[in-house]
Structure 1
Amino acid sequence: MVARAAVIFAGGFIGTAARVAVTEAIGHEAIALATVNLTGCLVIGLISGYFGPRVTLLRIFLAVGGVASFTSWSSLALQGVASPGAMILVVAETMVGIIVAGLGHLYAMKRLRRGGS
């Protein structure tokens, strides 16, 4: 239990720092948010496809700690509520995120888990 909490905390620290770095580098809030969310979708798909149903400390570190704190879907939802005109972008980003996560999962499942065959 302590080990899981520690890897989640460590992954969260790294994921949050990475999100801040990307946000600062891009500058534009909406573009930065889309970048981190869609990148996070790809990475979570890759993690899922690579590990399959196995739950390891590395998977917890990467997914629960790192990717979860790197992305900010709650901020995206807030954008849609605060500006109803932005709801189309919220829906589109969510749909693209699902597709990107699925593609990442399939790629990792076929290429990474099986040694690149």
Structure 2
Amino acid sequence: MPEKFITYQELWGRDLHDFCVEYEFLLDENNNSIKQPFQGMRSDFSYEGYDNEENYFCIHPVFLNKDGEVIIDLDEEISLTGKAQMWILMHERVNEIHKHRAKPGTICYFMDGLKRIAKAMITEINWK
């Protein structure tokens, strides 16, 4: 395993993330995080209000530090609340789906299978 996070700019050859969110990982009945976040996690993604099997997407978070910079050190603990860049894996679906759903203020979720593990709100869009 590499010691440093390989950015999606490097991995996928894209210049810019698709959008940004403010997130909060959800807690279980014992006040523990349902899932501990880590840089490079490949959670799925869903939009609030579209609760069906067609509402699950490969959109991955890249967690930012308090200064708004990508966390590169894989040993750095990721906060349960914060900001993340979001990268759409199947980028060809941006015009078909995401431009209609992803807008500032939209509520969305990081998913582990069909289980919501974090609630987020879109704060910034990087397409026209």
TM-score by length of 1: 0.30
For the pair shown, which has the larger CA radius of gyration, 1 or 2? 1
Highest relative contact order (Cα 8 Å, sep 6+), 1 or 2?
A: 1
Q: Looking at secondary structure, tell me which structure has more strand per residue.
A: 2
Higher share of residues assigned helix: 1
